[in-house]
Structure 1
Amino acid sequence: MTELIFTEKPAQAEKIAFALADDIPTKKELGRAPYYEITHNGKDIIVGCAVGHLFGLKEIKTEKKGWTYPVFDIEWVESHKIRKTQAHSRPYIEALKKLVKKADEFTVACDFDTEGSVIGFNCVKFIAKKDDAHRMKFSTLTKDELVESYKNRSKSLDFGVIEAGQTRHHLDYFWGISLSRALTLAVKATGSFKLMTSGRVQGPTLKIIVDKEKEIAKFIPVPYWELSLDGKIKTHVITARHKEGKIFDKERANEIFKNTQGQKAVIDKIKESERSSDAPHPFNLTNLQTEAYSLFGYSPKRTLSLAQDIYTAGYISYPRTSSQKLPASIDYTKILTKLSKQKDYKELCNRLLALDNLKPNEGKKSDTAHPAIYVTGEKGRISADQKKVYDLIVRRFLATFAEKAIRKTVTAEIKVNNEIFLAKGTTTVKKGWHEFYGPHVRLTETILPPLKVEDELTSPKIAKEDKETSPPKRYTPASILKEMDKLNIGTKATRASILDALYLRNYIVDNSITATKLGMETISALSQYCPEITDTDLTRHFEEEMEQIMEGKKKKESVLEEAKKQLTSTLNHFRKHEKAIGEILIKATRETEYKINTIADCPKCKKGVIQIRTGRFGKFVACDKYPDCENTYSLPANSLIRANGGICKECGFHSVLAIRGGKRPFNYCLSKECPPKVAWRKAREAKIKENATKKTTKKTTKKRTTKKTTKKRTTKKTTKKTKSQK
């Protein structure tokens, strides 16, 4: 009897094979797809792998020609038959088709979440041609947990999770394809063409951002005044603020200012207070993405990618979790003991291990599939960026077990002609969890000098500042994810990619997220003619429906039927106003593209502007007055280019922002004479010259060696011949 284990990715297949094998696994390949043959307790097992989703949804072809909407007639097909970009999945499908013939028992060991469950079920159904299989469930890729997971694998698949995942795929297809077609055909109705996109979560997310933009636009600043006092106690500078803070009454501000000029400043009271702060909750994915953005500037998508790689290496638990809870079953002591072998955490771990009771400060949020993100204690090599995220997760994990931190605030009330000014100093009196979270604690220590009542400040100066209230802050990539999480739209795993789609389609720009003209007008048109498309309540409703499917309280079919009725009604109304919507969209598209692609005035002709253009060989920068002005600049290949690069710090010329998948964005100077570019060219030329010299020297040496060898052979032959003649 042979068992085939389906895994989600090659790296996971390797981990599972080495964890379960009685001896060293035998690695083999079918095409480019790896698999492993092992024995576990004497049983023959094959560990095969997918490469993410091997199957996707596609519209069933009908006799109707051209695009129509809505689209509901869909089926699962092999991914490479849907998109050329999925061509890499084909060898894995073909390999699994051959491997299932060798097996008579099947187990799914894909990630235990909706996506992993759908991937595994599709392998069982469409490749193995079975209705059910065993299911392994695990949160880390450590040997111990994988062995335990295999030992306790369930006899049946997790059909509630599978149905919820399938429903999500269907709903996303219904909305995504139908809305994208509707918007594109609306533009086409005006005689133009522009591929437009929207989706079940994309539309509501854009509306949240647009609503914030409108709030900022409507904002009217209100003037207010702040009064401050500067003076000295001996050699120490003291700064204090009037106790009323922001003063919106100009006459009151002027009165305070007038009454305090040239008056004594004397300390009237000194108060001390202490405030404790609990240890932080363990990370879930949204918390991790928010913190990594704040500390390192990593985009949510990048943080997820780094965390996924660290998980696959076996050093942290599954990152796609909503939970803020750490069950005792993960064995805190064992993890801390392993972690203490890493010198960076040795002292901190030993301090926790000395405690009588290890109890983490858990949050309220839970996840039925996985606990909060935690470290496994395993050690290995990781990249510099992965190390930052790993260190953040380790220290957060340690901090959750630590004591409260206590901060003391000293407030000195300074009386100036009966007006009270407050000088405050805040210091940490008990570090508690701060010590464990280390460099990631962002607090400042403000220390007041020794003070006593009736001390008088020397040279007191009163200042009055005119200020205005600030508009609401724009969302950042991290804060919009928190808002989506709060509103329960999208999933922890998909929110970052939804945000990326909005950037890619020019609906939004910048890290301080700004809705473009296209983004504003798209939401304006949809809100006017079919507001359901951008309704967060409707999106949240279907999220809750999918949770009920997972819990077995609802069936997939009833939820999909409800969705079809809702979407049909919405799009019928859309169709009646198709041309009007198209006219709004195409105008906004042109304005947005002109704006986001324009870099600056052309430095050559002084008449046009230099813009990002697309040619036969990729993107480049050129003057819009071509052919009168032929000024052009090259751009880095394989990059998403944005015009908002600013001015080059090295040479003062214009630069663009280049974004490459999985890497940090960088500023690229357009000037060929920029010092770093010149230095790079010289180094490259020198390297080419050096390689050419080495090549020539090698050839010459080889030639000389060949001549010597030939000469030796000739001499040897001649000597041999002479001896023979003798």
Structure 2
Amino acid sequence: SYPAFEIKWFPISEINKKMSHMKEYIDVIKEVSSKCDEFVIACDYDIEGEVIGYNVLRFACGKQDAKRMKFSTLTKQELINSFENAEKTIDWGQAHAGLARHNLDWLYGINLSRALMSSISKTGRFKVMSIGRVQGPSLKIITDREKEIQDFLPEKYWNINIMGTIKQDEIQASHEKDKVWEKEEAERIFNKVNGKNGTVDEVSKAEKKIWPPFPFDLTTLQTEAYRNFRLNPKKTLEIAQQLYLGSYISYPRTSSQKIPPSIGYKKIITSLSKNPKYAELASELLSKNSLRPNNGKKEDPAHPAIYPTGISLKTTDALALKVYDLIVKRFLASFGDIALRESMNIRINIEGEAFITKAVRTKQEGWLKLYQPYSSLKDEQFCDAEEKDAFTNKKTDLLEKETQPPKRYTQSSLIKELEKRNLGTKATRAQIVDTLYQRQYVKNDPLEATDFGIKTIKILEKYSPKIIDEELTKHFEEDMEKIREKKKNMDETIEESKAILKDILHDFKSKEEKIGNELKNALYETSRKEIYFGKCPRCKKGDLILKNGKFGTFIACSEYPGCKLTLTIPGKAKAKYAEEQCQHCGFPLVIIKYPRKKGENYCINPECPEKKKNEEKDKGELNELNEKAKQRKCPKCGTPLVARKSIHGYFFACPKFPKCRHIENIN
């Protein structure tokens, strides 16, 4: 039921049976603390760590204050220094900000989620739903982008490109009007220059300084890990946390882009130089007169930017090695010299029409050498051209194109957008994205709002817009920052949030029936769409519906038993209606997608003439390959091999599968 405003802390062992073993830990802390007269909190030095330490202190130890260690790495020396120089009291700004956040997240998350689930359950349906202070606005950002994409009307435009040579150099150039919006004008230009040679009108060169990258804050690390390794933000944070716990890197949940001299630049780089992988790069930096990183503007009151400690990494985990290497290279690159990039523009005149070709290359590597292979800057071939050189036109293209809708957010770019809008925290944004997937509000990556996600936001916009109000969320984020800075009282913020929440819930309750019915309809339509595969081609009355059977999923007519049409789906594949018919037999086409493979159109009619034709072709190819296979014997059991076909193509295999699992490439 809702609303629920009473908040009381309980040991997790009392409310979650799966965590009952935690009682032993709490009991040990209670027993040990009864014999202690001094307490030091050594949890992670941030808002979340402060709350954890304070809760253990007051609930398990029965104390209200303690000394506080401040550290950014788990190296032995830093922990000793932190212990010897511990603050005399808890960081009450962090503790109160953390408690305020816990209260607000619980009050909003529990009450709003219960309200949604209550409204839909009263219609006789059940669906696990959640919404919260940050989750709601985050979903709205995604659905707003989806609406932009759906409402987007593409416009036609034309490109005119030429390919040819200047001296001996092959070049490609585009008309100075990058997009020609009128077909008649595009055709006029094309006809004017097609097959005609030209002259170089102008050659210009320019140099640009590229400053070293800033040291990593968490968001930038997640962005770069996604760009280079396609790691989602949650996984990147998990790996970074493990590296931190192993003392290999500094605390990862930081929004800082600054590394202070106090961390010991030279000492860390000297330690890295002992690793053969980084020896050359580190030695290059150590030969400089001074070490000064290119710090960014972003700061974090608790921690510096992410940096390696210099301790040699001991792991065989491939992903951990990749993320660690990225962090080390970024750290080293931040100390590098400015890189110099040179650009070249060539302007070609053909019958009075100007065509431009551009190229960029690195003139001075600087920090780029230290950040390989992670730099996204590419070098292009320069043309040895001078003014009045002849251009020989070998080919002219007139290309019809369309403007493209805005891109969907990736998990990485969404986290950057949330940070930009001051929604959520560096520690919670990845989890919020993960929750949106779990609740089936979004799918795929780039993030695509599901029909249910879109309809949920539409319903909330219509009946209770404050639930997804970005400005309200930002207001409380700013309040919590003021609490951390000891400029605002925690209780005032909590009481204000309760008052606003009461109004939201009162308004919601008055419209609960309407909201529930619309959510029910949205759920039905979404579920229906996911299992609908077009009209039945046999009886013309029913719909083809995806069903689950004893041997997996299959497609059947909704008019069963009147119509007994059933169609199979290839094993281990996911199927989705392609919303078009097979041109050979008229049956619906489905998009079949295997794990780690692109989806492809597939006709579900087993009697499709085109499918039969392809099957005969496959049969012939298999027979030919089987003749070759007989000449090979399984190296494990000596049996002659046979040819097989999978989604990846043909291969040779032992016929005694699954007892013998030997396979080999047909080549």
Q: TM-score range by the shorter chain?
A: 0.7 to 0.9
Partner of 1:510: 444
Give the partner amino acid of 2:120.
V
Offset at 1:196? Answer: 1.7
Kept in 1: contact 2:574–2:593 (CA 8 A): no
Structure 1's 162 and 642: CA in aligned 2 closer, same or farther, altered over 3 A?
farther
Q: 1:273, 1:518 → 2: CA distance? A: 52
Offset at 1:583? Answer: 1.5
Partner of 2:140: 207
Residue range with higher mean Cα deviation, 191-200 or 423-432: 191-200
Structure 1's 499 and 263: CA in aligned 2 closer, same or farther, altered over 3 A?
same
Q: 1:612, 1:343 → 2: CA distance? A: 57
Kept in 2: contact 1:599–1:643 (CA 8 A): no
Give the partner amino acid of 1:273.
A
After superposition, what is the alpha-carbon deviation per residue over 1:197-235, rounded to whole angstroms, capped at 9, x for unaligned? 111110000011111111111111122111111112354
Give the partner amino acid of 2:659.
E
Q: 1:345, 1:359 → 2: CA distance? A: 19
Partner of 2:294: 361
SS in 2 for 1:407: strand
Give the partner amino acid of 1:685.
K
Alignment of 1:386-535 (within 5 A): 386-535=320-469
Give the partner amino acid of 2:216.
F
Give the partner amino acid of 1:471.
P
In the alignment, structure 1 residue 306 sits paired with structure 2 residue 264: no
Q: 1:569, 1:477 → 2: CA distance? A: 33
Partner of 1:45: none
Structure 1's 218 and 610: CA in aligned 2 closer, same or farther, altered over 3 A?
closer
Q: 2:569, 2:212 → 1: CA distance? A: 53
Kept in 1: contact 2:39–2:66 (CA 8 A): yes
In the alignment, structure 1 residue 75 sits paired with structure 2 residue 8: yes
Alignment of 1:312-711 (within 5 A): 312-382=245-315, 383-596=317-530, 611=546, 621=553, 623=555, 654-655=592-593, 657=595, 674=646, 685-686=659-660
Structure 1's 296 and 96: CA in aligned 2 closer, same or farther, altered over 3 A?
same
Kept in 2: contact 1:279–1:399 (CA 8 A): yes
**What TM-score does the superposition give when structure 2 sets the normalisation length?**
0.83
Q: 1:82, 1:170 → 2: CA distance? A: 18
In the alignment, structure 1 residue 294 sits paired with structure 2 residue 227: yes
After superposition, what is the alpha-carbon deviation per residue over 1:17-47, rounded to whole angstroms, capped at 9, x for unaligned? xxxxxxxxxxxxxxxxxxxxxxxxxxxxxxx
Question: Which structure 2 residue ranges, 5 or more long, are not aligned?
Answer: 579-589, 601-643, 662-667
SS in 2 for 1:112: coil
Give the partner amino acid of 1:174.
L
Residue range with higher mean Cα deviation, 451-460 or 267-276: 451-460
Give the partner amino acid of 2:428.
T
Partner of 1:242: 175
Offset at 1:94? Answer: 2.7
Structure 1's 614 and 162: CA in aligned 2 closer, same or farther, altered over 3 A?
farther
Structure 1's 373 and 70: CA in aligned 2 closer, same or farther, altered over 3 A?
same
Q: 1:597, 1:111 → 2: CA distance? A: 47
Partner of 1:693: none
Q: 1:387, 1:106 → 2: CA distance? A: 37
Offset at 1:545? Answer: 0.5
- Structure number with greater Rg is 1
Offset at 1:195? Answer: 2.4
Question: Which structure 1 residue ranges, 5 or more long, are not aligned?
Answer: 1-66, 647-651, 658-664, 688-726
Partner of 1:55: none
Q: 2:549, 2:471 → 1: CA distance? A: 40
Give the partner amino acid of 2:25.
Y
Offset at 1:78? Answer: 0.8
From 117, 122, 127, the counterpart of 1:189: 122
Partner of 1:273: 206
Kept in 2: contact 1:645–1:668 (CA 8 A): no
Q: 1:118, 1:642 → 2: CA distance? A: 44
Q: 2:429, 2:577 → 1: CA distance? A: 26
Partner of 1:219: 152
**What TM-score does the superposition give when structure 1 sets the normalisation length?**
0.77
SS in 2 for 1:406: strand
Give the partner amino acid of 1:527.
E
Q: 2:119, 2:87 → 1: CA distance? A: 50
SS in 2 for 1:334: helix
Q: 1:673, 1:223 → 2: CA distance? A: 43
Q: 1:305, 1:643 → 2: CA distance? A: 32
Kept in 1: contact 2:423–2:473 (CA 8 A): yes
Offset at 1:116? Answer: 1.0
Structure 1's 113 and 220: CA in aligned 2 closer, same or farther, altered over 3 A?
same
In the alignment, structure 1 residue 254 sits paired with structure 2 residue 228: no
Structure 1's 491 and 354: CA in aligned 2 closer, same or farther, altered over 3 A?
same
Offset at 1:562? Answer: 0.3
After superposition, what is the alpha-carbon deviation per residue over 1:285-310, rounded to whole angstroms, capped at 9, x for unaligned? 11011111111110110000011011
After superposition, what is the alpha-carbon deviation per residue over 1:380-419, rounded to whole angstroms, capped at 9, x for unaligned? 3221100100000000000001111111111111110111
Kept in 2: contact 1:265–1:460 (CA 8 A): no
In the alignment, structure 1 residue 111 sits paired with structure 2 residue 85: no
Kept in 1: contact 2:156–2:401 (CA 8 A): yes
After superposition, what is the alpha-carbon deviation per residue over 1:326-375, rounded to whole angstroms, capped at 9, x for unaligned? 11111100100111111111111111111112111111110000000001
Offset at 1:103? Answer: 2.7
SS in 1 for 2:371: helix
Q: 1:181, 1:95 → 2: CA distance? A: 36
Partner of 1:126: 59
Give the partner amino acid of 1:181.
R
